[in-house]
Amino acid sequence: MITPVLETARLQLRPPNAADFEPLCAMMADEVTARFIGGVQSPPLAWRSLCGIAGHWQLRGYGFFSVIEKATGKWLGRVGPWYPHGWPQPEIGWTLNRESWGKGYATEAAIACMDYAFDTLGWDSVIHLIHADNRGSQAVAGRIGSANTGREVEVPGFGILVDVWGQSATDWRANRSAISADHARPSV
């Protein structure tokens, strides 16, 4: 399987590997970061999560990318196309460690993944499953042109009710032209 690596101005997005385990454990041990994505995970559960993401890559040919800050080589979190069993449709999701919040990394990575989903994977539309109280993720979705669809779904396997945000490929192409030149199309 050929696995892509996306490059943006400040970030490298690559498939996950075993070196991501320790920073993933730290991120998933943070109650504030994990509160809208199923809660804190112990290291054994974080390992299963990492293996699930790696397995998603094997089974679907895409999945969450590990987000690496190019300047430091630091693992920041995970962002990318995701379509687990039971999901209402393919999603672009994001979770970054708390130290990365407020720097525009989630938006930068999400834009690269939206381009990848529509231009490379050929998706017709994407969603983002966002808890009604998760203002940070709602802001990222808004910055990339997605809107709350007015639908609410339960995240399969987690028992969490979330709002469905999203947009079509046609909407993305119109929205993409309005996004700042700071967010140029990623190189693959």
Q: State both tokens at 68.
A: 């690496």
Check: CB of residue 147 under 8 Å from CB of residue 167: yes
- Nearest-CA neighbor of 37 among 139, 147, 157, 166? 157
| β-pairing verdict for 6-7 and 11-14 | antiparallel
Which tokens is 154 given? Answer: 């339960």
Of 79-83, 88-92, 180-184, the least confident:
180-184
pLDDT value of position 157:
87
88-116 pLDDT, tens digit per residue, is 999 999 999 999 999 999 999 999 999 99
CA distance 127 to 137: 12
As a whole number of angstroms, the distance between CA 148 and CA 129 comes to 10
pLDDT band at 179 (very low <50, low <70, confident <90, very high): confident
Round to whole Å and give the CA distance between 61 and 39: 27
Q: Mark 95-127 as b/e (b = at least 16 C-beta within 10 Å).
A: bbbeebeeebbbbbbbbbbbbbbbbeeebeebb
For residue 185, give the DSSP letter.
P
Instruction: Give pLDDT, residue 3.
Output: 82
At 24-56, the pLDDT tens digits run: 999 999 999 989 888 899 999 999 999 999 999
The average confidence (pLDDT) of the chain is 93
